[in-house]
């Protein structure tokens, strides 16, 4: 069905098409037509982070920044949906246009800049969602909430923004992601530098434990990293995250590299590149982090998944869960079903020797 709608959507500006698609999904969900939008998979129970996911394929943050479409997105068959990035105060993000398709490369460039309605509005949206009262209890998909800082908050006091968001979303989230890796908020990636990272995550780990005692429930906290880290940065990042015993790592965010799309239309637009060209780079970082982190810290593989085979590649590189976003723009909701089934086949296939290296 999406293959019929895609040519029409691609006639619109990318950000406008984004909004139209979400509204259409809401209409389909409320009308009971969501089964026509995506294929259905049998559950593939996956226990990670001390949580039971109905399947290991999730939606990455960025598609539903304000948590306004949670129920419709879960209806597509995701094992988890991550909303956000959300900041303490509402902000408009960067000037438009700020999202560009590169169809020949099955890629997207965006420089949205954490545009969102603010954490209090997101909390209200989550509380209104049917998933809030029926999701986890009914064995449904799990909700992640991705948090960040406002663009005008200096890095020196960024922990205040993250602590405020963490405290507001803690009771509603199945897990929380700390976003320090978007390239679209000036200076944000500096928080991945070893000393700043140690200070920020150390403070947030203490807050996580305090909130866990207060609410009687420990909510896992993950850190989302960039694909553009140097080898030394990866070593330092892994060392800090291991010492501070974070619950998990998401690898990776979008890239500022343009090597894979050199000469393409829009290639010179600033912002984060996602989609197919990101696959190799993000998977390399994923594999490197897997060899440097203890097994107790699981990895979520995201970046460049446009097929079931791509999802399997992420799992082979060390991911326990995968997420997609840009692939949905080019493949539609059937990508979710395809990834679940490909992982199922790999999980239960008879051993055929070592997994081949990733090209």
Are residues 221 and 212 in contact, defined by beta-carbon separation less than 8 angstroms? no
How far apart are alpha carbons 211 and 269 in whole angstroms? 41
182 assigned to active site: yes
Which single residue is written with the structure tokens 């619109």?
Answer: 12
Q: How far apart are CA 173 and CA 343, in angstroms?
A: 26
Instruction: Tell me which of 41, 80, 181, 182 is the catalytic residue.
Output: 182
- Most distant CA pair in the chain, distance: 54
* Residue 259 exposed, middle or buried by CB count within 10 Å (0-12, 13-18, 19+): exposed
* Residue 30 burial class via C-beta count within 10 angstroms: exposed 0-12, middle 13-18, buried 19 and up: exposed
10 Å CB burial of residue 69 (0-12, 13-18, 19+) is buried
Catalytic residues: 182
């Amino acid at each position: 069905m999406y293959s019929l709608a895609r040519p029409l959507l691609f006639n619109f500006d990318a950000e406008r098409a984004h909004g139209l698609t979400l509204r259409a999904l809401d209409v389909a969900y409320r009308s009971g037509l969501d089964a026509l939008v995506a294929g259905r998979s049998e559950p593939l129970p996956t226990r990670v982070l001390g949580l039971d996911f109905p399947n290991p394929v999730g939606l990455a943050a960025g598609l539903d920044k304000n948590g306004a479409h949670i129920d419709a997105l879960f209806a597509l068959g995701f094992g988890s949906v991550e909303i956000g990035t959300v900041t303490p105060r509402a902000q408009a993000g960067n000037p438009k246009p700020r999202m560009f398709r590169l169809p020949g490369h099955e890629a997207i460039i965006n420089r949205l800049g954490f545009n969102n309605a603010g954490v209090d509005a997101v909390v209200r949206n989550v509380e209104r969602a049917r998933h809030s009262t029926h999701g986890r209890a009914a064995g449904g998909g799990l909700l992640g909430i991705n948090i960040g800082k406002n663009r005008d908050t200096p890095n020196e006091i960024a922990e205040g923004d993250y602590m405020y968001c963490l405290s507001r979303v803690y009771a509603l989230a199945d897990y929380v992601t700390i976003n320090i890796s978007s390239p679209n908020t000036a200076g944000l990636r500096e928080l991945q530098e070893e000393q700043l990272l140690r200070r920020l995550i150390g403070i947030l780990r203490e807050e996580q434990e305090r909130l866990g005692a207060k609410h009687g429930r420990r909510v896992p906290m993950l850190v989302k990293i960039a694909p553009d880290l140097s080898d030394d940065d990866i070593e330092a990042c892994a060392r800090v995250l291991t010492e501070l015993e974070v619950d998990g790592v998401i690898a990776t965010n979008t890239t500022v590299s343009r090597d894979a799309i050199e000469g393409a239309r829009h290639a010179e637009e600033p912002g984060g590149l996602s989609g197919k060209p990101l696959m190799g780079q993000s998977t390399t970082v994923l594999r490197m982090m897997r060899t440097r982190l203890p097994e107790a810290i699981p990895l979520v593989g995201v970046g460049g998944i446009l097929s079931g085979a791509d999802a399997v590649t992420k799992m082979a590189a060390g991911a326990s869960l995968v997420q997609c976003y840009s692939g949905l723009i080019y493949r539609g909701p059937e990508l979710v079903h395809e990834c679940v089934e490909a992982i199922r086949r790999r999980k239960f296939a008879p051993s055929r020797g070592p997994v081949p290296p990733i090209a």
